[in-house]
Chain A
Amino acid sequence: GEDVEQSLFLSVREGDSSVINCTYTDSSSTYLYWYKQEPGAGLQLLTYIFSNMDMKQDQRLTVLLNKKDKHLSLRIADTQTGDSAIYFCAERGYSSASKIIFGSGTRLSIRP
């Protein structure tokens, strides 16, 4: 079945770049998403990438997609304390009507 995997924790120094990685198994994935969840809050869509793209940039965020390896990454430039959150990778497959599969989330913590 479909699966999305990501590491559980990442710690970076304030001002450095953060790179959060994700792998997925569904080769028919059409959209891949990154969501952010701050403590006590719901999920907020950060960005998404369509499967025929390799890269998408949005201000401090860069999404890279390696479709051959089924690998997705989110790079946050100049990481700030406000970036502390859990980041979820998710994918939607073309064959699965409206079902979106989430990874377990990566908790990003920022060191001073």
Chain B
Amino acid sequence: NAGVTQTPKFQVLKTGQSMTLQCAQDMNHNSMYWYRQDPGMGLRLIYYSASEGTTDKGEVPNGYNVSRLNKREFSLRLESAAPSQTSVYFCASSEALRDQRRNTIYFGEGSWLTVV
């Protein structure tokens, strides 16, 4: 049982390049999330998907797009990378809200992205 898997773990991009961060979960969770983590800022929600087929903006969506490809996979795309997007990105998943007792969030190990 791998939990939440995200790739790549490390990436260096030039300004203006595009890339996609991949995320997959094997826990049959309905909800998935992308966060970025910057020093002193904690975790900030970029986008989330409450269920398959839906996506919503979080706190800091500008410069990103997401795709909920199926129930397992939720990808994050940077169309034209900027130095301000240098960060650590975390994918996460949780069960649907209706099941409160098991409603915790599980994280991937993080993707370190540097834009030069």
Contacts and interface: CB of A to CB of B under 8 A. Distances in A.
Interface residues of A, number: 25
Nearest to B112: A40
Contacts of A24: none
Contacts of A88: 42-43
Contact of B104 (A45, A99, A104): A45
Contact of A45 (B42, B90, B106, B108): B106
B35 to A, nearest CB: 8
Interface string A6-48: 0010000000000000000000001101010000011111001
A49 to B, nearest CB: 11
Contact of A42 (B33, B96, B110): B110
Interface in B66-114: 90, 92, 94, 96-97, 100, 103-110
A42 B104 contact: no
Contacts of A100: 33, 45, 94, 105
20 contacts: A8-B40, A30-B100, A30-B103, A31-B100, A31-B104, A33-B104, A33-B105, A41-B110, A43-B43, A45-B106, A88-B42, A92-B103, A94-B97, A97-B97, A98-B31, A98-B94, A99-B48, A100-B105, A103-B42, A105-B42
Interface of A: 8, 30-31, 33, 35, 41-45, 48, 50, 88, 90, 92, 94, 97-105
